[in-house]
Each structure stands twice: as structure tokens, then as C-alpha cells.
Structure 1
Amino acid sequence: MAETGAVSSFAPTPPGKPHTGVLAAAASGLTAFIEKQGGDPDRVLGRSGIDPETLSQPTLSIALPNYCHVLEEAARQSGCDNFGLYYGQQFKPKALGLLGYIGLCSPTLEQALINFTRAFPLHQLDSTIRLVDLGDCYRFDYQIRHGAILARRQDAELTMGMVANLIRHVHGSKWAPQAVHFEHPRPEQWQEHGRLFDAPIHFEQPCNSMVIPKRDLQRDMADHDPLLLKVMQDSLLQLSLAGRGEQQSLVDATRGQVRQMLLGGEPPLEHVAEQLGLAPWSLQRRLRDEGVGFSQIVDEVRKEMATHYLKQPQLPISQLAFLLGYSEISAFSRAFRRWFGLSPSQWRQQSERHS
């Protein structure tokens, strides 16, 4: 999710544009929910570059950076730090449009989860979504792969709520997963996550995930409709095909891979190139053609993530070196002084005075 900042960096998405991000159904009821949390919907949408008319048409596309930004901006402007968490808990499957109906029209709850996972990459691009078979459980994994999106906590908590509500549609509101994992650091009001999911919550994980016992999925879907299921699947596929001509740049894709690998240390060029389906020399050459080097991208991603994490007061500065892939705190401190001419603690104090 993109950092909150200058409005000009988020250009509005024109209505009627091919699907190149996330379908507007993912923002169903957003303006009303922003207002309910004490925010100003017009201001939030305006700062995020989203045309309110787009939200009224569920099959129109919202650029993924704009979508993630609107959730972060809503949390900031309303003062509700758990905005995405609460928004996701009330997000019913039918509100998701085509994707939701694909789940609801499936024959069984297990097949609903499988069909939902298979269709999700068509509903939202530049993301990894998979269902991993763990034997007696499934693990639903979700992660945004768009390199221009840094702040994405609200989106992750919203998405896990959407998945939980697909299962709660059959089992009722008391159903709980075995565990929920989030890639972002533990927020200040983290106890709410455990209360609402009624499950162990783990933060700073490699991926956003939900562990779901298979025994909970052995039920029929009351709204099973094979014909409507096929119509929904075909419609979503056609929308996705219409937007395939536009993809994120190689620089953004590289930034995304770098950010995802930082928890394991400094990302090697070879590993990033492999994930992008390129030879290391080819990645270097193509980045040079774009006027940027690989080491420069790593440095810029670390710089952006450092300021993002420092704005979260509950995060100890001592944790930041690990989160940014540094083996020692001293290496992080030296890099930070090079970027800003201040220590991390001085930068945080200065930021708090101006917020």
C-alpha cells in the first residue's frame, strides 16, 4: 500500500479503463464505512485519486496502488488504526461481486474456497494468491506483488476478513480459523485481531495467511448454482483478459521482489532475477536501460520502508534493522544517517512533532 503523502502522486483512474488493478467490488460500501468511522469520504477518496463514480460500478477497475492507499488514508484520516480489520469483518461475500458469487455458487464449502482462490488473481492483479494443502488443513496465502506499494497493512487485514467471511457464511459468525499470519509488524491495538478472528495471530511473517481445517469445509453451499457459477467465472476471465496489455514496470517488479526478500537479509541479485524469470545479467542490463541500478533499488526500498516503520510508534527502533534486512543495528544506523543526516530516533521525534 502506498505511503500517505502528496495527492498529486495518485492520478484518478478513468471510468471505463480496462481491468488493470482490482475490481471496484472490493471497495463496496467503502464511503459509508469511512463515514461510520468518523472520516470524510470525499477527502479520503480525493487524496487517493479515486473517482467516487467508480465505486458504484463493481466491475470497473481501480489501480492497485490507489486502492491500497485509500484504505491507509481512511485509517489515518478517521483515526481508526484497525480500519481494514473492521472493514473486512463486515464484508460479506455477495459484496465482492463476481468473486464472491463464484464462492457462493460452488457445490461445497471446500470447492468454494478452491474456486475463490483460483479466481482471485483475475479479480486482483499483481498479487500472489494460493491454497496450500497441509494435509488436515489448507493454508490460504495472500501477498501483493506490486513494487510501487509499500504500505499495505489495511488491505491484508481486509482480505483475511473477506476469506473468513466466506466460511462464516456457512458456519456462522462464531467460526474461527486455526491461525492467521500477517506480514506487517504487530500494530498497537493487536489484541483486536485475536478477538475478531478468535485465533492465534502471528505478525512479521513471510506472507499473509490463514490456516483452515479441512474438517470445517465438508458442507454443501446452500446457493449452489452450476450455471451461474460458469457465468461468473467466464465474466471475470473476460474482464481480466481486457487488462492484460498493461503490466507494472520492471523497476516496480524488482522493487516488489526486493521488499519481500528483506526479512531474509539483503536480497541477492541472482534470487531477484530468478523470481522475475530473467538471467542476472539481463536484469542488470534492463534496469540500466531504465536509468537505475539494482543496488540503488535496494537502497531506495530500505529508505522508504525505514520511514514507513518509524511512523509506527509501537515498533522499537531496535527491530528495524532486522525488518530491513540488515545483519547489525549499526549498519542500519549508518545507512539512515546517510539518507537523512539524522539518527532514527531523532527522525522519529521530529516526525512526531510535525504530525
Structure 2
Amino acid sequence: MVRAAPIPPPSPAPAAACNVLAAAASGVIGFIERQGGNAETVLNRAAIDISWLTDPTLPLDLAAYVQMMEEAATQTGNGNFGLWFGQQFQPQDLGLIGGVTLAAPTLVSALEALADLFPYHQQVTHTACRHAGGMVALEYRILDGAILARRQDAELTMGMFVNVLRYVFGPAWAPEEVHFEHPQPEQAQEHERAFRAPIHWGQRTNALIFKRPSEGIAMPGADLRAMDRLRGQLIQAARGSAGDVPLIRRVQAEIRSRLVDGPPYIEEVADALGLRRWTLQRCLADEGVSFSDLVEGVRHQLARLYVERTHVPLADIACLLGYSEISAFSRAFTRWYALPPRQFRAQAAARGFR
């Protein structure tokens, strides 16, 4: 009798500064194929081994995961890939963080657990559940300033979050508003159809805004013992860490989130990082950069990303980058790229950027 060869274990993922558990990619291969794409091509371009997706507790490099979603949108030709992948992504598919959320005793405690523990599921991430005036803002933002193109990730994560509430209230539930940090994409009407709510683009953070649920709304699968067990497993899977990146990349992330309100102040960024202004200045000086250098650098990088999205008005890009006038943005862009933004955009369109 011939015995079947044993299935080899997954090859270890390379060590990374920050990770996301593979549960975040549950079903992505099938979804890519259903969208007419080639999953193998997408994974190869993102430098992700397919074996790393076999165990939901395995760590994936966060930057590679985000790139995978951007590559999937490009390879399938579906610019709203992340939007629709997130809309079909149910909480029970989200691995340990999904299990913790579903086992919470009440919806309010489930949302608080989701916000508090999500950085163990996906490291170097800001999540918060803010309450004000009878409303809740469930916020999400990546804190690694080196991850630039991340629209697909933001849209799929907001879909994951909205499905936690739809798990309780049913598929017709809708938030009051949805906020995204990226500019308005093409076919933006699909977002209002998916979330059944007004969408606001170019915001400081990604967020669902909704009426505060009653404290007494129970989760259908409430199980405190399971919740505690899964919380421990989640923290263990993250090796007890919510991740870390170099200070410069954290500063870049905070600058990015504030540009929409105008040129950021170093005091605000230092406060967000839990530092005094002079401490932050000294740390940056030790790295050979100044705060103004980093502001310039973030604007420089985002300018190209946005200008290559040929549907985004240049006036909107100027606002997103903190310029009060489009002429100031045009002068800066020309200094960076030796071409005015309209000419650079025309060349990008010829190369096939959308």
C-alpha cells in the first residue's frame, strides 16, 4: 500500500518590523480569482508565499499585506477590490480578534475590545472607539509612514468593522458616516452603496461614525471564558507586542494625518508620540533630519502618489497636502519633479496610471 506523502508545514515568514496575522487575508485567493485575477501573480508581486496564508495565526509583513491588496486591485482591474473584499468579510473569518469580538458580553464591550486589541492583530496600527454627543467614532489608521499606498486596506478594514455591527443588527444596518484618509476614488458611488451612508474623503483618519448602541445589547455568542482565552492567544500570537517602527516613520505617519488641516506643528506631533517638543527635535537631529525636512518629504512622496491618480483634482491634492493655494503646491511639485503637476500627470496617464 502506497502512503501519501505528508503535507509539508508552511515555510516560516521572514521576520518583519510589524506584522498582521494571516487571518486578515482569509479568502483573498478565492476572491482574487472570482474578480478575474491571478492570485499567484498578486502574491508574487507582494513577496508573499502562499503557504503563509494557511494558518490564520501566522504573521505576515504588514507592508507586504497592504501591497498585496493594492496589487490585487491593479491585477484584477477592479479599483474597488478592497471595498468589496471587506464587505463580504465576516467577523468570524477574522481569526483571534474576530473571536474575541464575537465572544464579548455586549456590543459596546465588543467594540471596545476590537479597538483595544486590534493592534495585536495588526501591529503599528491606531484603533480607537471614541464617544461624543451620543455618537461613536470607530477609528483606524496605519502608523507606519513608510506605507504610502494603502487605500485598499483602509476600505476593506472599514468593511470588516461595519460587519461587526451588521452581525448584531442585520445586513441592512448602516453607519451615519464613513471617513477615509485617501482622496475620492473613481466609482465612488459604489462606496455609498456598500456602506449605505455618506462618505467623506481626505480625512485625518479612517472611521465609522454611528449612534452609540445601548449598553444592554448582548452579543449573540457571548462567552466571557472564551473571550479571555482568545485574548490571551491573540496577545501571544503577537508576542505580546503591538509592534514598533523607527521614530522617523512614526513622525511621518503623524505628519500625514495632519496635512489635511494645513502645515502640521511639531508640538502636536510630539504630543501624539508622548514626547516633549525638545525631545523630539533632539531625536530627529540625532538622525540627521529636522521636522521641516520630514514635512517636506511626506508632501513630496504623497504628491506623486496622488498626482498619478489622474481622476483626483489638483486643487484637492493641494488641500490634502496642506497647501492653502494650488499655486504653492504647483511650485513645490515642480521643484521636486522638474515638471509641473499637469505635465507630470499627462505622462502618468500615458503610462497607464489611473
Correspondence for 1:116: 114
Q: Which amino acid aligns with 2:263?
A: E
- Give the whole-Å Cα distance in 2 for the aligned partners of 1:259 and 1:190: 22
Task: Indicate yes or no: 2:349 matched with 1:344.
Answer: no
Quick check: 2:107–2:219 contact (8 Å CA) kept in 1?
Answer: yes
Q: Which residue of 2 aligns with 1:67?
A: 65
Any stretches of 5+ residues in structure 2 without a counterpart? 1-10
* Cα distance between partner residues in 1 of 2:66 and 2:342: 28
Could you tell me whether the CA contact under 8 Å between 2:107 and 2:213 is conserved in 1? no
Secondary structure at the aligned position of 2:235 is classed as: helix
Would the aligned equivalents of 2:106 and 2:216 in 1 still touch at CA under 8 Å? Answer: yes
Give the distance between the partners of 1:20 and 1:187, measured in 2 at CA. Answer: 28
Choose the corresponding residue for 1:269, options 266, 269, 274. Answer: 266
Whole-Å separation in 1 of the counterparts to 2:214 and 2:89: 20
Superposed CA deviations along residues 37-83 of structure 1, whole A, max 9, x for unmatched, are 12211111111121211111111111221111111111111111111
Deviates more, 1:111-120 or 1:89-98: 111-120
Cross-structure match for 1:318: 315
Letter in 2 for 1:221: M
Alignment of 1:136-147 (within 5 A): 136-147=134-145
Alignment of 1:1-355 (within 5 A): 14-15=12-13, 17=15, 20-215=18-213, 218-243=216-241, 247-355=244-352
Q: Which amino acid aligns with 1:253?
A: R
Identity of aligned residues (%): 45
Residue identity matched to 1:82 = N
| Aligned CA distance change for structure 1 residues 318 and 135 (closer, same or farther; 3 Å) | closer
Tell me which amino acid in the other structure corresponds to 1:323. L
Q: Distance in 2 between matches of 1:353 and 1:20?
A: 36
Matched-pair contact (CA < 8 Å) for 1:178–1:212: yes
**Which amino acid in the other structure matches residue 230 of structure 2?**
M
Which digits, 9 at most, give the CA deviation of each residue in 1:290-346, with x for residues without a partner?
233332222221111011111222211122211111122222111111111111000
Contact 1:121/1:128, CA 8 A, preserved across alignment: yes
Partners of 1:338 and 1:43 in 2: CA distance: 36
Aligned-partner Cα distance in 2 for 1:137–1:258 = 27
* Change in 2 beyond 3 A, CA 1:19/1:300: closer
Q: 2:29, 2:39 within 8 Å by CA — same for their partners in 1?
A: yes
- 110-119 or 301-310: bigger deviation: 110-119
CA distance in 1, matches of 2:238, 2:217: 30
Measure, in 2, the Cα distance between the counterparts of 1:51 and 1:67: 11
- Give the letter for the 2:51 counterpart: E
Q: Distance in 2 between matches of 1:243 and 1:194?
A: 36
Q: TM-score, normalised by structure 1?
A: 0.90
User: Where does residue 10 of structure 1 map in the other structure?
Assistant: none
C-alpha deviation, 1:215, in angstroms: 4.2
Cα distance change, pair 269–114 in 1 and its aligned pair in 2 (3 A): closer
Q: TM-score, normalised by structure 2?
A: 0.90
Question: What do you get for the CA RMSD once the two structures are aligned?
Answer: 2.0
Aligned length: 342
- Give a deviation string over 1:19-44, Cα, whole Å, max 9, x none: 93211111111111111112211111
Q: Is the 8 A contact 2:314 2:326 kept in 1?
A: no
Pair 227,17 (structure 1): closer, same or farther in 2 beyond 3 Å: farther
Pair 1:336–1:102, CA change in 2 (3 A): same
Question: Deviation at 1:87?
Answer: 0.3
Counterpart amino acid of 1:86? Answer: W
Q: Structure 1 268/16 Cα, relative in aligned 2: closer, same or farther at 3 Å?
A: closer
